[in-house]
């Protein structure tokens, strides 16, 4: 028991020491678990597919996920929000569901072949930051997040299009979505 505490204390001191010398600007994870942001991003893409296929049931199911999460357009985003239009196409839902008061924010965009789209977002120190990307179609989109000093925090490719980390400092991060494909791509990005 004493030896285990000594090891734990030594590991804690090493971690704290690394923070003071700036060796760990942020902690990014790439786990196999699906986060709320990824579920909302997938639901946005599913809703768009359901609208195109005139599948009202699938559209309603996707909207329930978006509604339960409390997802809303990101502050400052001036693009067209498809969710209100989808609500008019879906069959009536049951009573409103109560979820997270803030919930994740989302935005959509369109990127030409070989182009990128980027915007900035502030993330708070010590609070989990999470970003997920989804799209309809097969264009190879990637996600990149860099901090205020232009150091990469996370790069997510076409297989795993999500980033999660805990910022050490409150700062503005640049979020970039890149289309590596040969044709235009529509995407949804969810920030939580």
Tens digits of residue pLDDT in 101-142? 456 889 999 999 999 999 988 888 888 899 999 988 888 999
Find, among 157, 118, 123, the residue nearest to 30 by Cα.
157
Residue 75 is predicted with a pLDDT of: 87
Residues in the chain: 192
Q: What is the pLDDT of residue 44?
A: 94
At 169 the pLDDT is: 86
| pLDDT (0 to 100) of residue 158 | 67
Q: For residues 33 and 16, what is the distance between their CA atoms, to the nearest angstrom?
A: 27
Check residue 21 and give left, alpha or beta (phi > 0: left; psi -120 to 50: alpha): alpha
Answer whether 102's CB lies under 8 Å from 185's CB: no
All structural domains of the chain with their residue ranges: 26-191
Q: In the CATH hierarchy, which fold is given to the domain comprising 26-191?
A: Jelly Rolls (2.60.120)
Closest CA to 83 of 53, 54, 43, 139: 43
pLDDT at position 88: 87
Q: Whole-structure pTM over 0.75, yes or no?
A: no
Ranges in the chain, pLDDT < 70: 1-33, 92-103, 158
């Amino acid at each position: 028991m004493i030896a285990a505490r000594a090891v734990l204390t030594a590991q804690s001191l090493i971690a704290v020491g690394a923070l003071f010398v700036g060796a760990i600007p942020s902690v990014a994870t790439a786990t196999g678990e699906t986060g709320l942001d990824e579920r909302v991003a997938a639901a946005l893409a599913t809703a768009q597919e359901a609208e195109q296929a005139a599948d009202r049931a699938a559209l309603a199911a996707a909207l329930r996920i978006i509604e339960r999460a409390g997802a809303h357009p990101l502050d400052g985003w001036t693009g067209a929000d498809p969710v209100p239009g989808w609500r008019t196409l879906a069959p009536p839902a049951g009573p409103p569901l109560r979820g997270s008061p803030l919930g994740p924010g989302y935005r959509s965009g369109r990127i030409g072949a070989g182009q990128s789209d980027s915007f900035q977002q502030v993330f708070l120190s010590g609070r989990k930051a999470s970003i997920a990307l989804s799209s309809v179609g097969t264009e190879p989109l990637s996600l990149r997040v860099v901090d205020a000093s232009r150091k990469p925090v996370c790069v997510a490719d076409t297989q795993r299009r999500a980033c999660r980390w805990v910022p050490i400092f409150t700062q503005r991060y640049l979020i970039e979505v890149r289309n590596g494909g040969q044709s235009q791509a529509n995407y949804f990005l969810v920030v939580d």
